[in-house]
Amino acid sequence: MKKKVGFVIAGICLCWYFMNSFHILPHKKYTDEDFNIVTYKSTIDKDKDGMDDQSDILQNVRSYIATKPKYKSKYYSGGYPDDEYGVCSDVVAFGLKDAGYDLMELVDEDIKKNQKEYQIDIIDKNIDFRRVRNLKVFFDHNAKSLTTDIYDIKNWQGGDIVVFKNHIGIVSNKRNKKGIPFIIHHEHSFQFNYEEDILEKREDLVGHYRMSCYYSQLK
């Protein structure tokens, strides 16, 4: 009997560990209002759709993940995935594209101006904008660089871009109980949720950016 109880407890612990590790367990989500944070609104509407760019980017990202893309790295002759697959950079690319920022074109232009900084020998417009290391350089050049202190919560806003060593995502407008924002991202094939509370668990954060401030540089 004791052995059976032990197996049951071990099974429960293993199940909890698995569900917690893969972010399957539900997390209560809070909003800016819960922490008296003023939600940032951009003064720019690049695609002139009546929505400010910061809000537009976030809304577009939510529309993209609603399609539930499957994780798979593929090459597309048109640059942007046109099927049911995608990778982490596509979350960002589609979020910005439908707000008026075509990363395929913008990154290609920046690479041609600064090829040595990108450390690229052969330029390929269709794939360069989908590589995290290239996006990091591009955002360093063309977006507002923000704090990487995740506990400086008022300076993290939904629609911001977050870059890790080999990964990238969009900051959510939902937060955990400490006010730290969730991240909307697509990291691997076994990911159950696209919006996750991961910032405190990662040690590879290398950049935090806001694109909706820099329309004048990207006309």
Identify how many contiguous H helices and E strands the chain contains and give both numbers: 7, 8
- Of the two residues 28 and 96, the one the predictor is more confident about is 96
Q: What's the pLDDT tens digit per position in 110-141? A: 999 999 999 999 999 999 999 999 999 999 99
pLDDT at 204 over 60: yes
pLDDT of 59 reads 98
Nearest alpha-carbon partner for 137 in 120, 122, 149: 120
Pairing of strands 144-145, 70-71: unpaired
Mean pLDDT of 67-90: 96
* SS3 of 40-62: CCCCCCCCCCCCCHHHHHHHHHH
Q: Is the pLDDT of residue 2 over 80?
A: no
CB 86 within 8 A of CB 186: yes
Helix (H, G, I), strand (E, B) or coil at 181: strand
For residue range 3-54, what is the model confidence (pLDDT) as tens digits? 554 444 544 444 434 444 445 556 689 999 999 999 999 999 999 999 999 9
Predicted pLDDT at 135? 98
Query: What are the structural domain ranges in the chain?
Result: 28-218
* Bridge partner residues of 86 (DSSP): 71
The angle, 0 to 180 degrees and rounded to 10, between the axes of the packed helices 103-113 and 88-97 is 100
On whether the pTM is more than 0.85, the answer is yes
In this prediction, residue 8 carries a pLDDT of 47
Average pLDDT, the chain: 89
Torsion of CA 137, 200, 59, 145, to 10 degrees: -30
First to last CA, the chain: 72
Q: Are 171 and 162 in contact (CB under 8 A)?
A: yes
